[in-house]
């Protein structure tokens, strides 16, 4: 009897755990997604091959869209709901960029991260096409390795510009060797002070920090990608 009394709670607990593991939760209702986010599909012209890599809302209601092949487009009427492509007008704003990933509106101009620099795009004459491509920040290594993306920028509460840099995959020995200047600051977050001072390295140990953003207080965060020394995808507070 004593044996039965001592083991019964364990058996009961095991049975309860098994029941909990086998309970099937109901499938979520896809129609509920509009309670949280409204999804709108925009028709695009045949000549525009979208690999969207950045978006920014413009003061005039347009939506700026960067694409990885090196262009920034403007979309009119992004809040319209129509299935007619004619109701959505796309216009090329900037071209010739090197894999821009990220797009931010700041002080009346668009900023994007090319592989080798942060570029400020200005439309001085107001014709809807960028006529000035200005270097806002540069100073990190670029070798042509496929993995050497730059992400951003974002601006913190003090107006400082932040970006993140991918590691050069498969280049560990070279990064630490005589060619290390060619790979400098790979895997770092970088900050360009608002007062125009030199670019500063801020935090190391990143792998592929392709998500960078600020919260409502202006604090800077990045998401990294699982692989190598990361066992999962972390959210990192950059300082």
Number of domains observed in the structure of the chain: 2
128, part of any domain: yes
35, part of any domain: no
Report yes or no: 190 and 239 within 8 Å, Cβ to Cβ: no
Give the domain-ending residue among 138, 170, 187.
138
Structure tokens, 198: 């030199």
How many helices (H) and strands (E) the chain has is answered by 2, 15
pLDDT at residue 169 tops 90 = no
Share of the chain above pLDDT 90, in %: 59
42, part of any domain: no
Average pLDDT over residues 166-176: 68
Q: Select the more confidently predicted residue: 203 or 82.
A: 203
pTM: 0.81
Structure letter (DSSP) for residue 30: G
Can you give the residue range of the structural domain that contains 220?
139-239
152, part of any domain: yes
pLDDT tens for each residue of 85-134: 566 789 999 999 999 999 999 999 999 999 999 999 999 999 999 999 99
What pLDDT was estimated at residue 177?
53
What pLDDT was estimated at residue 180?
65
Q: Is 202 exposed, middle or buried (0-12, 13-18, 19+ CB in 10 A)?
A: middle
Same domain, 90 and 129: yes
Q: Which helix (H) or strand (E) holds 67?
A: strand 63-67
Instruction: Tell me the pLDDT band of 4, cut-offs 50, 70 and 90.
Output: very low
| Window from 43-52, 106-115, 143-152 with minimum mean pLDDT | 43-52
């Amino acid at each position: 009897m004593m044996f039965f009394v001592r083991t019964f709670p364990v058996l009961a607990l095991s049975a309860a755990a098994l029941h909990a593991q086998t309970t099937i939760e109901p499938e979520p209702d896809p129609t509920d997604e509009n309670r949280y986010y409204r999804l709108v599909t925009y028709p695009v012209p045949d000549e525009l091959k979208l690999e969207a890599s950045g978006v920014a809302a413009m003061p005039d209601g347009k939506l700026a869209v960067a694409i990885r092949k090196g262009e920034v487009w403007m979309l009119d009427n992004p809040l319209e709901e129509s299935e007619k492509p004619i109701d959505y007008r796309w216009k090329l704003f900037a071209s010739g960029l090197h894999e821009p990933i990220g797009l931010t509106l700041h002080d009346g101009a668009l900023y994007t991260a090319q592989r080798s620099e942060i570029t400020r795009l200005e439309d001085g004459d107001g014709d809807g096409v960028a006529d000035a491509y200005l270097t806002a920040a540069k100073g990190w290594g670029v070798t042509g390795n496929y993995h050497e993306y730059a992400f951003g920028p974002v601006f913190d509460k003090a107006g400082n510009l932040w970006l993140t840099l991918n590691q050069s995959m498969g280049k560990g020995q070279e990064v630490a060797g005589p060619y290390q200047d060619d790979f400098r600051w790979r895997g770092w977050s970088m900050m360009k002070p608002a007062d125009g001072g030199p670019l500063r390295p801020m935090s190391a140990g990143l792998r592929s920090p392709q998500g960078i953003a600020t919260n409502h207080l202006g604090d800077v965060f990045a998401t990294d990608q699982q692989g190598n020394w990361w066992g999962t995808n972390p959210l990192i507070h950059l300082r």
